[in-house]
Structure 1
Amino acid sequence: MPRSRFRTFISLAAALPLAVAAPAFAQDRTEHEQMARDLYRDVIAFRTAKGHTQVPELVSYLSQRLEAAGFAPGNIMATDYDSDGERTQGLIVRYPGKSRSKARPIVVLAHMDVVDARPEDWERNPFELTEDGGYLYGRGVTDNKYGVTNLVSTFIRLRQEGWTPSRDIYLAFSGDEESGMVSTRAQAKWVAENVEPGIVLNSDAGGIALASDFTPLAMRVQAAEKTFATFILTVTNPGGHSSRPRKDNAIYELADALLKVRDYTFPVQATPLTRSYFRELGKTVPGELGAAMRQFAEDPTDEEAIATLRADPAYVGTLGTTCIATMLDAGHAENALPQSAKATVNCRIFPGVGVEATEEALKQAIANDAVQFTLDTDVTESPISELRPDVRSALAKSLKKRFGNVAIIPYMESGGTDGMHYRTLGMPVVAISGVAARPEDQYAHGLNERILTESFYGGLDHWYVILKDLAG
């Protein structure tokens, strides 16, 4: 269980050595850009994936950097948690506003952990920031160490300028968003009880959608999330000697069930948010895909439009619930018939559908009572958040400086983020990442995760403009 006591980092004497050599710059960069690039390099080098226990080291490093920039030790707070038997930490940093301000604080979210990456599988070391062909590579360069780097560097930049916000601003960084979300839940509760924010903004979703030719299409603002649920499917069998095979085999039976999961398609869902998203985005997306978006917005029963959208990984999750097999565990010896076979099936459930209805749909598709279902998730269903006019205005100013006039479009996230736990406690959250990316450059959680080099630099003013506008 998480410990509620906060621990403050005071000393800079234990600063971690930075073994990664500084990268060469393709062009002259400002002092802030170089500082952010160095910070990015160092943050990527921490293997903050489950099983490596490096989140506390990253918390210590970030705390030292912020203290060196002038943040008082009492405003840099870390808290310890036990996440599935592993120690992790969260980090909360307060940027004090004007003492007499009555404006409620701003809270900005990011997560420090990453999905693990095996160096032997990558073309480049995933835990060393590498620039190649106009891209920066490394685990977490988008999800979500860019958010961490951008926010921390912005806090340092504002502090060094001597800026005092009109209200308190808090960074809330979680340590296990990609696994148990224990730190997320605890931080959301602490924020609700101790901060009572007026605005909660998330760096872990949304962002600027680019066309294949790098033309900016729209700023996507995450206003809702699907429900995350994982099921363990299990088939058991008496087993036996492999020299005496039988028709009943736990592995084959599970394989048959998984093929039926693969072939099952959940019904199309068309909420006002989904239809308005496709209507607006379809105005900017060229070709068949854009036409399908507009047609779906007009008629969500149009089979041709549905087929086009479902064929695109970037949009299939927007149309309804999806479930996909992600892990397997079967057998106990190479010369024995399997006594059990297990599969992990991860579902992203459309709001309002519910976990029970999703499980029942899968059971009916499989049509085999021998396949046992176990829910392996603490399920959180969160409401839709509204994009406030003041946040929209601040976001528009950031976009104007960077791209000119760009459409701002709220949407529902197919994945899940820390924001869901803040929403369930009554705090509206919108996610407005500064990343600009094409669909073909989306490699989060996969091999060779990358970000456009110019997207990294171009987004460094993103939070600077937004925070100054909302708390200026």
Structure 2
Amino acid sequence: MDGSADGDDSAARGSSGSPTIGPDAVTPTSSPTIESDVVTLTSELIRLDTTNQGQGDGHERPAAEYAARRLDEVGIAASMLESAPGRANLVARIPGADRSRPALLVHGHLDVVPANAADWKVYPFSGEIRDGMVWGRGAVDMKSMVAMVLAVARAWARDGRMPRRDIVVAFTADEEDTGNYGAGWLATEHPELFAGCTEGVSESGGYTLHANGRRLYPIGAAERGTAWLKLTARGAAGHGSRANPDNAVATLAAAVSRIAEHRWPVRLTPTVRAAVVGICEALDVPVDPDSPDFDAGAMLDRLGPARRLLENTLRNSTNPTMLAAGYKVNVIPSVATAHVDGRVLPGSEAEFEKTIEELTGPDVAWEYYHRETSLSAPVQSPTFTAMKDAIEAEDPGAHVVPYCIGGGTDAKQFSRLGILGYGFAPLVMPPGLDLAPLVHGVDERVPVSALEGGARILDRFLSMA
């Protein structure tokens, strides 16, 4: 990882090397109550095992009950809604000073992916605070954000402060699978809880990325669509020792190989183009994305760690992930199936489907196993500006850039209600600790200082947005 920032950026750092608050950023919102609360809340949320195994196997209710208790302690009422036994969601509305303004949705998921304790230095559901870090599954994805939202709301209630507009808080189940027990269910069954919400913020943005001596803060302003595919090949069953030109396994394998080897063309959507320009400008990398000589690969090679903000969103993608066929080695099965994780850029849906038809060929059928729309929100908006201002108040040397999220979040489900989604779960990460490998990784952890800085940023943004 790169070290501290070059030039004037170094003035924004304290002796520890972490960004500090500039003189113009010292406000009542940088309360130590928020800072101490967010660390405790993160640790205690991690201790609640809300592992989502997928296919309906999850249990978020303990975390939802915990969040409800912490809100109730300061007089904030919340509604607990179960889509199935144990699959609990929590929604609360915090009134703003101007009820005529559109409401803002702030959402975070309560479920986490599995963790194998044998691989970890600490028990993954300990919430242990060690070496200036809070350790455990969900530390960055995304119980830290849930804790920051709780800490800010609790501080407002204690201090008698109000946001400018209504803030709807939603803590959801099942984001780590399909969202059918969480945000998708809420959007379908309880849309009235989100009345007046026009924009939302959640995970995958607002964190520090140290690259080439600069501190970037990417804010998600788009998401690729989810296109999980199921492929099916059918053939003639038979004995494994006999010639069989109608072998379903061989037919499927050939199609899967074609999909895996396909190189999708570069497609610069408006958000990706803005990300290319913003990131390259911040890193002093000359670029002209409109030039016929634009070379995406050469550009990525000059971006250092920042390449990951672009490399997965310059094009569509298809990755084979599952194969199933047969029941005995000497029996040729009549059916073989595969699953492919596809991701689609905004506006590329027709091209994606046409290409899949060509790659699978006439002998392999395909269908959507799970599908969610791509998203795009304006970069030139008061809400994006407010997020940028909140980050720069905490870290005056920040370079805030838009980007397209390569995967998916609950913003897809809430978009059904006409809610524009941004990726903004701020964490002020120190040099030497990269956020990306921690997400779903072994020894997931978050620095205490990152939580404290993130809570201050979120407080500023939600107070003024």
Q: TM-score, normalised by structure 2?
A: 0.80
Aligned to 2:79: 77
Aligned to 1:47: 49
Deviations 1:241-295 (A, max 9, x none): 5566867654444333322222101121113332222111112236xxx45xx24
Deviations 1:306-344 (A, max 9, x none): 674899544222211111122233332355444443221
Letter of the aligned partner of 1:164 in structure 2? M
State which drifts further: 193-202 or 337-346: 193-202
Deviations 1:10-65 (A, max 9, x none): xxxxxxxxxxxxxxxxxxx9454333222112212233233453211211111111
- Select the residue among 335, 338, 363 that pairs with 2:357: 363
Deviations 1:423-445 (A, max 9, x none): 34323332222024589431323
- Partners of 1:303 and 1:399 lie apart in 2 by 29
- Partners of 1:404 and 1:191 lie apart in 2 by 41
Query: How far is the alpha carbon of 1:123 from its aligned partner?
Result: 4.8
- Partners of 1:351 and 1:117 lie apart in 2 by 33
Assess if the C-alpha contact under 8 Å between 1:94 and 1:170 holds in 2.
Answer: yes
Q: Does 1:456 align with 2:451?
A: yes
Aligned to 2:255: 257
Aligned to 2:400: 408
Aligned to 1:211: 210
Assess if the C-alpha contact under 8 Å between 2:94 and 2:167 holds in 1.
Answer: yes
Q: Does 1:329 align with 2:328?
A: no
Change (3 A) 1:216 1:200: same
- Select the residue among 407, 414, 417 that pairs with 1:422: 414
Aligned to 1:14: none
- Select the residue among 373, 376, 380 that pairs with 2:369: 376
| Structure 1: gaps (5+ residues) | 1-28
Deviations 1:369-422 (A, max 9, x none): 332212111433444345422x34432442233210433322222211122233
Q: CA RMSD in A?
A: 3.3
Change (3 A) 1:456 1:137: same
Aligned to 1:57: 62
- Partners of 1:161 and 1:320 lie apart in 2 by 47
Query: How far is the alpha carbon of 1:101 from its aligned partner?
Result: 4.2
Change (3 A) 1:454 1:464: same
Query: How far is the alpha carbon of 1:352 from its aligned partner?
Result: 0.9
Aligned residue pairs total 426
Q: TM-score, normalised by structure 1?
A: 0.79
- Partners of 1:156 and 1:338 lie apart in 2 by 59
Q: Structure 2 matches for 1:44-443, cutoff 5 A?
A: 44-51=46-53, 52-71=57-76, 75-82=77-84, 88-98=87-97, 101-130=99-128, 135-182=133-180, 183-188=182-187, 193-197=192-196, 200-212=199-211, 215-217=214-216, 219-241=217-239, 249-285=247-283, 290-291=285-286, 294-296=287-289, 298=291, 301-302=294-295, 304-305=297-298, 308=301, 312-333=307-328, 336-354=331-349, 357-366=351-360, 368-389=361-382, 391-436=383-428, 440-443=434-437
Query: How far is the alpha carbon of 1:124 from its aligned partner?
Result: 4.0
Matched residue of 1:258: which SS? helix
Change (3 A) 1:300 1:33: farther
Deviations 1:53-82 (A, max 9, x none): 3211211111111112322xxx31011214
Of all paired residues, the percent bearing the same amino acid is 24
Assess if the C-alpha contact under 8 Å between 1:266 and 1:322 holds in 2.
Answer: yes
Change (3 A) 1:233 1:121: farther
Letter of the aligned partner of 1:147 in structure 2? M
Assess if the C-alpha contact under 8 Å between 1:208 and 1:216 holds in 2.
Answer: no
Letter of the aligned partner of 1:33 in structure 2? E
